[in-house]
């Protein structure tokens, strides 16, 4: 999952970025509203975490502009303001959720997970493809009775493939969602991690889930599509 984090307080920005990256998210950051709006309009994100008090353009103006541009990416507002009027204003500008500072980091994670599921068929905290099960809370995976040990990027890759099961995903699309904006287009890192993942979830099984689409990218096939 790829997240845009817009926060001007450096300590908070660094803390949240590190915490989100440790939770297997690809994170792009901006420390002002103008840059945040630019990133949001020009790159694809699963969730935008947006502070209200920002230099250049405040979070309310950024959110309002995103909705005026018909961008439907879920927006989680962060603010120190805790009055009902402030929350109503934020939601009326187009925010999907509202979190008041100070907050527990695990609550931020829970709200991000909820927003990422809101407009998806995936409403449960687990994803299942055939006998492959991924738990998005514990970040654990198993195929049948076998526990699969995944690295941070392997988990993120498997989650993305399962969220887009049966879809053909190009290497660029995969890279944009798993790595930050500075990903090198000529890198073979996607192919490398696909090989790592195949070794863990496919090599020892007759039924293979990951398919290579020659000249395009990869596809995770659901044997029992819903």
Preceding omega of 98 cis (within 30 degrees of 0): no
Backbone angles phi and psi of 154, in degrees to 5: -65, -40
Q: Coil, helix or strand for 169?
A: strand
What is the C-alpha to C-alpha distance for residues 168 and 161, in angstroms, rounded to an integer?
9
Q: What is the pLDDT of residues 49-73, one digit of tens each?
A: 999 999 999 999 999 999 999 898 9
The pLDDT-based confidence of 6 (bands split at 50, 70, 90) is: very high
Asked if 35 contacts 8 with a C-beta cutoff of 8 angstroms, the reply is no
Q: What is the pLDDT of residues 70-128, one digit of tens each?
A: 898 999 999 887 777 777 887 888 999 999 988 999 999 999 988 887 655 455 678 89
**For the chain, what is the mean pLDDT?**
87
Q: What is the pLDDT of residues 157-189, one digit of tens each?
A: 998 899 888 999 988 888 877 776 555 556 788
Asked if 29 contacts 54 with a C-beta cutoff of 8 angstroms, the reply is no
- All domains in the chain, ordered by first residue: 2-118 (3.40.50.2300), 126-220 (1.10.10.10)
Look at residue 138 in the predicted model and tell me its pLDDT.
82
Residue with tokens 């991924």: 134
Preceding omega of 102 cis (within 30 degrees of 0): yes
What is the C-alpha to C-alpha distance for residues 168 and 96, in angstroms, rounded to an integer?
29
Output the pTM of the full model. 0.68
Q: Coil, helix or strand for 161?
A: helix
Residue with tokens 């907050």: 103
What is the C-alpha to C-alpha distance for residues 121 and 134, in angstroms, rounded to an integer?
15
């Amino acid at each position: 999952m790829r997240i845009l984090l817009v926060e001007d307080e450096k300590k908070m920005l660094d803390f949240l970025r590190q915490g989100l990256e440790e939770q297997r998210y690809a994170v792009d950051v901006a420390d002002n509203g103008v840059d945040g709006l630019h990133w949001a309009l020009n790159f694809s994100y699963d969730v935008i975490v947006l502070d209200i008090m920002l230099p250049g353009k405040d979070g309310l103006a950024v959110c309002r502009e995103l909705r005026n541009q018909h961008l439907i990416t879920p927006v989680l507002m962060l603010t120190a303001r805790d009055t009902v009027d402030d929350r109503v204003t934020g939601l009326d500008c187009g925010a999907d959720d509202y979190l008041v500072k100070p907050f527990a980091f695990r609550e931020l994670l829970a709200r991000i997970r909820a927003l990422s599921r809101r407009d998806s068929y995936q409403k449960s905290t687990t994803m299942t493809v055939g006998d492959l099960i991924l738990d998005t809370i514990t970040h654990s995976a198993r195929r049948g009775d076998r526990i699969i040990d995944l690295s941070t990027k392997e988990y993120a890759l498997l989650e993305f493939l399962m969220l887009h099961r049966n879809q053909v995903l190009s290497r660029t699309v995969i890279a944009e969602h798993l790595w930050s904006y500075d990903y090198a287009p000529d890198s073979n890192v996607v192919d490398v991690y696909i090989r790592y993942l195949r070794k863990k979830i496919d090599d020892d099984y007759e039924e293979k889930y990951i398919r290579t689409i020659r000249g395009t990218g990869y596809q995770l096939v659901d044997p029992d599509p819903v």
